[in-house]
Structure 1
Amino acid sequence: MIAYFIPPEKLGTPPMSDSPWELLPTASNHAQSLDGLYILLTAVTGISFVLVIGTMFYFMWKYKMKSEDDKTSPLTHNGKLEFAWSAIPAIFLMVFFVWGELDFVKLSSPPADSIDIHVTGQKWYWTFEYPGRPVAATTEVEDGEIAPLLVVPKGQAVRLTMTSKDVIHSFYIPAFRVKKDVVPGRYTYVWFEATELGDFPVFCTEYCGDEHSSMLAVVRVVEPEDYKAEVAAATTLEQGEGESLEQFGEKVYKAFACNSCHNTDATRKVGPGFGGLYGKSENLADGSSVEADENYIRESIMEPNAKIVAGYTPQMPSFAGQINDEQLNALIAYIKSLK
C-alpha cells in the first residue's frame, strides 16, 4: 500500500467555483440531484425565515400596546391557521425526507458491473489499491511531491470499498458530492460515475488528529480507453533510467508516506527524524540501546514494534508484504544519505 501525506499548499488550487454564491462543479452522476435538494432546502428555509420573522415584526408593530386601556383580543385560536402552519411544513419535510432517502439509497447501491477499488484511510493519508496491481496509485503534483491518486474512467460506475487502520476518517470528493465515513474494523461503500474529465481534490472531513487537514488526495477522471494505461502508470514504482539509488529511495520515501511521520532532518515528528539516523546509537523503550545500521532500519520497516525508541509509542504499521526488496534497499540508501 503506497500513499503520501501532502501539505495543502502542495496540492494546488482545487477546481472550486469562482464565486461563493455559485455551487461547486458537478462532476458525477449524483451531483445534480443533490444540488437540487440543496437548492430546495435553501429556498424553503430562506422563505420561511422571511415569513416568520417578517410576520413577527408586523405583529409587534400592529398590535403593540398604544395605551393603558388596550385590551388583548378575546380570540384564543384559529383552527384553519393552526392546521395550515402545521400541514404545510409537514409536506415540505416529507419531500425533503423522500428526496434525501432516494439519493441515499442510490448512493449506497452500486451497479453490479462497477469497477472495484479499495480505499484505506490511515493517519494521515489515503491509499488506493486496484485489483491485480501490487502497488497503490500515486501521482506527482508539484515540486516532485507525490500524492495518493484515484484514477477513474469517465462514464463508468466505480465502487469504493473503504476501511480504516486506526481512527474514523471521512472520504469526501466535493465535486462528486460523495462523502462517506471510513471506519476501523469494518467496510463502508460508496459509488459514483464521473461525468467530467480532470483532476479533483479529495478531503478527510472527520477530525482524525494533528494533520487531519493535510489528509488530501487527487481523483483523476480519464477517458475509458486511457484508464488501464493511467492505472498502470500510477501503480508503478521502479528505479528510472539514470536515477541513482538514493534518488529512487527518495521517491519510495514519499510514495510510502514515510514523511507523514518522519522528517528528513533530525527533528522529531510522530516518529524520530531520519537526519543523521544511520550509525547513531538509539536508546530503546526497554532501556537497551541499538546501533541504527541497515539491519535495524530494515527491521523497523518490516516489524516496527520489535524495537521502540524511547519517548515514542508503537504507532507505525508494518510494511511487510507491501514494499519489495528493490524499494526497501533504495529507501535504506536514502536514509543513509540524510545527514
Structure 2
Amino acid sequence: MAADTDAALSSGFHLMDAAASTQAGRTDAIFLAMVLLCGTVALVLLVLVVLFSIRYRRGSHIDRTPPRELRGIEIAWTIAPLLVFFGIFGWAARDFVTLADPPADALPVTVVAKQWMWKLQHRNGRREINELHVPLGEPVVVTMTSEDVIHSFFIPAFRIKQDVLPGRYTRLWFTATQLGNFPLFCSEYCGSEHSQMIGRVVVMTPADYGRWLAGGPAQPSMGQYGFALFRQLGCSGCHDARSTIHAPLLDGIAGRTTHLQDGRTVVADANYLRDSILVPNKDVVAGFEPVMPSYAGQVSEEDLGALIDYLQSTSKRDSP
C-alpha cells in the first residue's frame, strides 16, 4: 500500500484531508462551522476573562455595586445558544439522513469483516480482499457484517465511517469525486493486529471500472449463487409456490411489510431476512407455525449475503 501514491496522502501540509466524495464537502462544512463557532466563543470568553481580571483586580478603584436586573439580556443569551444548537442539529440530521438513504440505482457491494481483513464482493460475483474498486461519479452502497467482533469501516478521504457488527447488517453509501487510491481503515479496536487491518479504495473511470469488473475469473453472480444455495439447502422445497408444505412464499418478500404472529408488523429488510434464516422462531409470520429449522452454523456470512441477494432480486424482478 505504501507504494501507491495517493491523493489523500500526498506530501505537504494540508489543513483538511483530501475531499474525494460528495459527502466529504458536507461533512467538512459542518466541521469547519463548529470549529469557527467554538473558536469564536472561546476567544470572546478569553477576552472577557482577561478584561475582567484587569478591571476588577484587587485594589482597583472600581464601582462594585451589584448591577440592576437585566431580564432581556438574560433571556437573549439563553435563547440565542438554543437556536444555534437547533440549527446545527438540523443541519447535521439532514446530512445523516441523506447518508442513510442510498439512491435506488447505487452499485451494491457486500463486505464481510473478520480479524484482520476486509472481504468484499461485487454483484457479479467478483471478490476482493482489502481493496474496493469503484467507478468515479456513480453511487455505491456498501452492506456490511462481521464474522467475529465489532469493526468499523472508515474511508477518511470520503468522510464516511460505519460500525460493522456481528450478527447484523449495516450499510453506507458514497459517490467518489476523485480518481486515485484512498486508504481504508478499521477504526474500532478489534484485537492485537487491529493496526494491520487496512486496505484501499481504488476510484476508476466508469470505462476502466467496467473492464476491471468483467476481467475477473468467471464465476456466478451473487444472485445466481444465492439461487443455487436456495435449492441446495432445501429452501425451495417449502417456500416454492408449487410446494405442498404450508410455508410463506418468498418471491418479492424483500422490502415488503410482513405481519407477524404476535401482531407486530416489520419490513422485510436484510436484517429480517438474515434472522429468518438463522433464528426463524424470532419473527414468525402470521398464519404459520414456527417449524422452520435454524441454519445457524451451516451457512457462512458470504452464503448468507448471496441468499439475501437472491431474495432481494425477486423483489426487483417483480416490481414494475
Q: Do they superpose with TM above 0.5? A: yes
Alpha-carbon offset, residue 223 of structure 1:
1.0
Partner residue in 2 for 1:128: 120
Q: CA RMSD in A?
A: 2.9
Where 1:151 maps in the other structure, the secondary structure is strand
Whole-angstrom CA distance in 1 between matches of 2:184 and 2:42 = 34
Alpha-carbon offset, residue 78 of structure 1:
2.6
Give the 5 Å matches for 1:1-339.
15-16=8-9, 18-66=11-59, 72-75=64-67, 77-133=69-125, 136-138=127-129, 148-233=130-215, 235-236=216-217
Larger RCO (CA under 8 A, 6+ residues apart): 1
Alpha-carbon offset, residue 52 of structure 1:
1.0
Alpha-carbon offset, residue 84 of structure 1:
2.7
Which residue identity does 1:152 align to in structure 2?
A: V
Identical-residue share of aligned pairs (%) = 35
Partner residue in 1 for 2:309: none
Q: 1:84 to 1:16 in 2, by over 3 A?
A: farther
Whole-angstrom CA distance in 2 between matches of 1:40 and 1:231 = 40
Partner residue in 2 for 1:296: none
Alpha-carbon offset, residue 91 of structure 1:
2.3
> What is the number of equivalent residue pairs in this alignment?
225
8 A contact 2:26–2:95 mirrored in 1? yes
| CA offsets 1:118-156 (integer angstroms, 9 cap, x no match) | 0111111111111232x5224xxxxxxxxx210111111
Alpha-carbon offset, residue 60 of structure 1:
1.4
Where 2:127 maps in the other structure, the secondary structure is coil
Q: Which runs of 5+ in 1 are unaligned?
A: 1-7, 139-147, 238-317, 323-339
Which residue identity does 2:181 align to in structure 1?
A: D
Which residue identity does 2:136 align to in structure 1?
A: K
8 A contact 1:117–1:131 mirrored in 2? yes
Q: Which runs of 5+ in 2 are unaligned?
A: 219-298, 304-320
Q: 1:170 to 1:25 in 2, by over 3 A?
A: same
Alpha-carbon offset, residue 85 of structure 1:
2.2
Whole-angstrom CA distance in 1 between matches of 2:16 and 2:63 = 51
Q: 1:204 to 1:150 in 2, by over 3 A?
A: same
Whole-angstrom CA distance in 2 between matches of 1:226 and 1:100 = 35
Q: 1:87 to 1:18 in 2, by over 3 A?
A: farther
Alpha-carbon offset, residue 320 of structure 1:
12
Which residue identity does 1:173 align to in structure 2?
A: I
Whole-angstrom CA distance in 1 between matches of 2:108 and 2:301 = 24
| CA offsets 1:192-216 (integer angstroms, 9 cap, x no match) | 1111111111011111111111111
Q: 1:89 to 1:19 in 2, by over 3 A?
A: farther
Q: 1:185 to 1:47 in 2, by over 3 A?
A: same
Alpha-carbon offset, residue 321 of structure 1:
9.0
8 A contact 1:120–1:164 mirrored in 2? yes
Whole-angstrom CA distance in 1 between matches of 2:164 and 2:77 = 40
